[in-house]
Structure 1
């Protein structure tokens, strides 16, 4: 009796699993990533050499952290275009601290970067929630304000790898189980945010706000507080990315982080985060970041012109938005049909 009763339940669970897997927004980008890596490896076997694999992970690390933070903001039907400028400011601050304060502990530099990034993110959140102006407009303004501050502060000064402690630079060199240390930090960030969004009530509130802000307010969700928190965490993670950028690259200066904001938004959208808010995941955003950075590396490996690299990324963004819109229209149609048949 137990076996007979258990069989249908097992079959139902199995069907439910495969059905859920097919509907997962992360599945298309995962398949695209696997196909891209396999095709590039066939064209150039050195692409997946130990050093090649390490470079792939390192190239994606900063973008993964930024895309994960951006996901929190986009889910609430907002956007933050200032993350590249925040990264640049924090990266230059990191170089300044190591060059100006002899023997400063690395953990203090990390703490300062996180706090500085959180402060800049909080400014964005306050302006968006208090002024009631669209986040696109606010963060476009702070993009230029933060970039201007960095240009004034840095001027023509640049800090190089020799200005930092060897232990700090080794974060992008040393590996654990084949993963660079800074990549492991990015993985921890993604896992922590994924658990928060799925398991914490305040995390689920972000989805409710993005789906329908007015309804979220009626249900008692403190919309402004949640949006403010999303911007603050996004700034904090941009600060973390800025510190890791200083560890990863040979120099930081006034132009560090310029133009990264559009790549970050692209990574989130390609990874299945709905640009109109209410759906998506940090895992998908991380996969989107991996896909975009891998595309650049793959096309470089097969010697494709940089213009075509940018064009392909643009096509991916358009496809992701169109697919997301089609999925939203289909979901709305199914909802209307189900209500009509009741």
Structure 2
């Protein structure tokens, strides 16, 4: 039976790695892995973040602005949909879920980055690192699969308009999102569980801006092949498969639009998909570009950190803006609220 032992990593202001004594001790312990004797966990990880990026303080400020706008925008969308009964429809259940996932993802990543910037503290405890990994992957998966459900909603609305209200109901959408949250919780838990079975005896330095799965499992001394498989599986589950499903759904939508005789009718039908198309493009295109570039060229740690942070930060900021500006129901509701306030001000 595996006996777990927690070893404390030694901090150095000059070198954010384990001391030579600690490394030698860990390497000695690692020689016993063939007998499955011990698993070594550091007390702390050191997240490099943006420390190696020139003028990083300006980039921190830029990310803080993105974070602030994302929190305000997504919170406003959540509040608006929650209090307005006319928006309690299947489509807006999906928009509500997307805003909740965006809000969760930004709060899982950026507060820790702001702590690093404000207090110059790049250390994170081992357990906090695992918790951070869980919530980031949980909300990223929710974002991606929510876009798939919204694509299904648009597909039924365009291709089967007469049966839309019978097929896509509040109950059906609630079941979809309940399944998504349960699936993501299981997958994120599985990812963290297999990280916890690794032994870390080389370094405690994570070259990322959060406790990212890949940079963490690459620090392991023992076999991490199962973690490599999980990383590829997560990529397939949360990037490749959803993108294929969304593309196929829009191929069906465009085929249905081609059967509409008038250009006015086609444009009117396509306009209902505009918000979703923009959000899908914002979510998938940056991540695909980063993934392809990483496969075809050598990305430095700093370039990877900047590209991935932008790929996940910008969509969370722009999604609520897109749905407010491109959704007739929300714009009409805002106009009504502003009109009532202007009337009230004139009366007083």
Q: Normalised by the shorter chain, which TM-score bucket?
A: 0.3 to 0.5
Normalized against structure 1, the TM-score is what?
0.32
Name the TM-score, length of structure 2 as normaliser: 0.32
Rg larger for: 2
Ranked by relative contact order (alpha carbons within 8 Å, sequence separation 6 or more), the top structure is: 1
